[in-house]
Amino acid sequence: LHTNRVPTDVQRRDISDIIRVLLARKSDMELEKEQVRTVQTLHEVSDMISDPQATISPVKRMPDEILALIFEHCLPVRSSIHPPSLLGPTRVLALVQPALVCSSWRRIAHAFPSLW
């Protein structure tokens, strides 16, 4: 290929076949690239939708006291059967999980002594 010689008819046909295969491959790659761009755009638009949806979520309007009660009901129950040393880590883990959701839930988890 990298020569100044004039190709024979057979070489020209072979080169033309190679070019057709490479052009088809290039076209497929461009289509895949466009599909990837579309997926990326779809994810970006989904993210743009989820932020405003989270902002107007009904849980945002729920009073802190109600959320604290919900958190409290999710905690393992303390009883005289189980010593506090066994329940301690489980209880803390159950409280830490909702506290990782967002800063508001973390503030609530820390603000209500009944949860600790």
For residue 30, count other CB atoms closer than 10 A to its CB: 10
Q: Has residue 16 got a pLDDT over 70?
A: yes
Cβ distance 68 to 115 under 8 Å? yes
Residues 88-100: what's their mean pLDDT? 72
pLDDT at 86 over 90: no
**SS3 per residue for the chain:** CCCCCCCCHHHHHHHHHHHHHHHHHHHHHHHHHHHHHHHHHHHHHHHHHHHHHHHCCHHHHCCHHHHHHHHHHHCCCCCCCCCHHHHHHHHHHHHHHHHCCCHHHHHHHHHCHHHC
pLDDT for 59 equals: 85
pTM of the predicted model, to two decimals? 0.48
CA pair distance 93, 75, nearest whole angstrom:
9
pLDDT, tens digit, for every residue of 17-61? 999 999 999 988 888 888 888 888 888 888 888 878 877 888 888
Q: What percent of the chain has pLDDT over 90?
A: 18
